[in-house]
Amino acid sequence: SLLNPTSAEPLVWPSPLKFISELNPEAKALLEQALMDANKEREQNILKGKCYSLPSPSQSDCVDDNISEISESELCCICFEQVCTIEVQNCGHQMCAQCTLALCCYNKPNPTTASITPPVCPFCRSNISRLMVIMKIENHDESDQDNVDINSSK
């Protein structure tokens, strides 16, 4: 987990970040849901008397039950548990909403200047100009495109 597992503070929407204020509605909704899920898990852990840690994507309600069928190229290279749903621009690297949220919520504002150091891409360290939702080309209900081609040629 990118966040301090002993932190009792709730995650706060990283609004001072320029690329967060410029999110398109789909990306904003995805990250807001990840934020709500993380804080809900935190509250449940506090009620149970446990230390807070970022909820495991495998325990999250939004995890796809067919995770074993997902290709490795779609799996988040940070947590290896959830599908990549967010793309960093301009570099094009991808990660899941939960890891994106952890990256953006990690840096706290400097109390003297009230400014926040914007995070960089965790893969190439380039500046993040925008976060976009990854658009899936194939229909989610259909099997892999290669399998469709092979089966239809017989």
The predicted-structure confidence for 58-105, as pLDDT tens digits, reads as follows 444 444 445 455 676 789 999 998 999 999 999 999 999 999 998 988
pTM of the model: 0.67
Domains in the chain: boundaries:
18-61+71-138
For 137, the token pair is 């080309």
Using CA atoms, how far apart are residues 4 and 34, in angstroms rounded to an integer?
A: 17
For 146, the token pair is 């290669």
Report the DSSP beta bridge partners of residue 75.
Answer: 83
Q: Which CATH class is domain 18-61+71-138?
A: alpha beta
Q: What is the mean pLDDT of the chain?
A: 75
Among residues 10, 69, 82, 71, the alpha carbon closest in space to that of 40 is found at 10
